Amino acid sequence: FEREAGEGETMAPVVIVTGGSGLVGKGIEWVVQNKPEVVGDAKFVFLSSKDADLRDEAQTVACFKKHSPTHVIHLAARVGGLFKNMRSKVEMMVENIAINNNVLHAANECGVDRCVSMTSTCVFPDKVEYPISEDMLHEGPPHPSNEGYAYAKRMVEVLSRCYNEQYGRNYMTVVPTNVFGPFDNFNIDDGHVAPGLMHKCYHAKKGGDNLTVWGTGKPLRQFIFSRDLAELVLWSTLTYAGKDSLMLCPDEADEISIAQLADTVAASMGFPSDRLKFDTSKADGQYKKTVSNKRLRGHRPDFKFTPFSEAMKITCQWFEDNYETCRK
């Protein structure tokens, strides 16, 4: 089952985006609408769980055949914060393996030559030399807290290589660092550090309270704005021809401390900086988790990431404007 162009016509690419209603999917939608030069004449189909249950092979194949894609951006996953990962290891592993197997199978069935799947830096080995590079993925076990999710995500990288070898496909994985932006999950208990802090700041501002950040604020993280990530994922799908995994993140020099993150959130939300407090009785977590973007920079030395303060302002504004309806 493959689409065919008539004589003398070249077909415009049709790109299926799984997980199209999530943080990165919405980033891609924004780039498609606002930066047409990135996508050319490509048509996009954004799938959400309403369109098909990707854990079900028959539903996945039927949905793909309906849209006849030429390219797939695979973002859909069962995800959760630390506690959900620890509580639901079986579901995290089984459901993510099923989703990945079904999406790559459906892509191959439809004759899709390019499928770009997203994994995460949290699936890399727990004990590793920094900076982390793409080739370290299988060099040791992941952190025990999220091993169910991590091994499932590692397998999509293996499966992509297997399709390339057996079926001559061009399937690959991309690996972002800490993503933030509009349409994130702003849940304080089960979300990630940046959106959780925005939500805490929102409450502190409304209640006239202090904003308390756990730890010293010294640990460093690489944050990537969802719209920058979206642009790089689109480039990886439509332009880049390589099959090697790519780390997608800003340069090591642009690492942000948790204290800088808190300051930037406070400034973006008009929260007084003198009411920002650090609870040093709480653990800091890992000091650095630096990722090397050397391979990306080899292909895109000129790519300009949105300045952190500007990206944070856009995100905080979106969060406040959409507080009633956003995921929290």
Please tell me the predicted confidence (pLDDT) of residue 288. 84
- The answer on pLDDT for 4 being more than 90 is no
Q: Which position among 130, 149, 151, 202 bears the catalytic label? A: 149
Please tell me the predicted confidence (pLDDT) of residue 239. 96
Percent of the chain with pLDDT over 70: 95
- The answer on pLDDT for 120 being more than 60 is yes
Provide CB contacts within 8 A for 15, sequence distance 6+. Answer: 42, 43, 44, 45, 69, 70, 71, 72, 73, 237, 238
**Rounded alpha-carbon distances, angstroms, from residue 126 to 78, 156, 219:** 21, 19, 17
Q: What tokens were used for 51?
A: 């369109």
Please tell me the predicted confidence (pLDDT) of residue 3. 52
Q: What tokens were used for 260?
A: 């800088």
Percent of the chain with pLDDT over 90: 85
Q: Got the DSSP string for 202-241?
A: HHHHHHT--EEEES-S--EE-EEEHHHHHHHHHHHHHT--
167 among known catalytic residues: no
- The string of pLDDT tens digits covering residues 86-98 is 678 999 999 999 9
pLDDT band of residue 81 (cuts 50, 70, 90) is: low
- The answer on pLDDT for 63 being more than 60 is yes
- The string of pLDDT tens digits covering residues 216-263 is 999 999 999 999 999 999 999 999 999 999 999 999 999 999 999 999
User: How far apart are alpha carbons 281 and 301 in whole angstroms?
Assistant: 42
pLDDT band of residue 79 (cuts 50, 70, 90) is: confident
Please tell me the predicted confidence (pLDDT) of residue 286. 80
What's the mean pLDDT in 108-128?
A: 94
Please tell me the predicted confidence (pLDDT) of residue 287. 86
User: What are phi and psi for residue 236, nearest 5 degrees?
Assistant: -60, -35
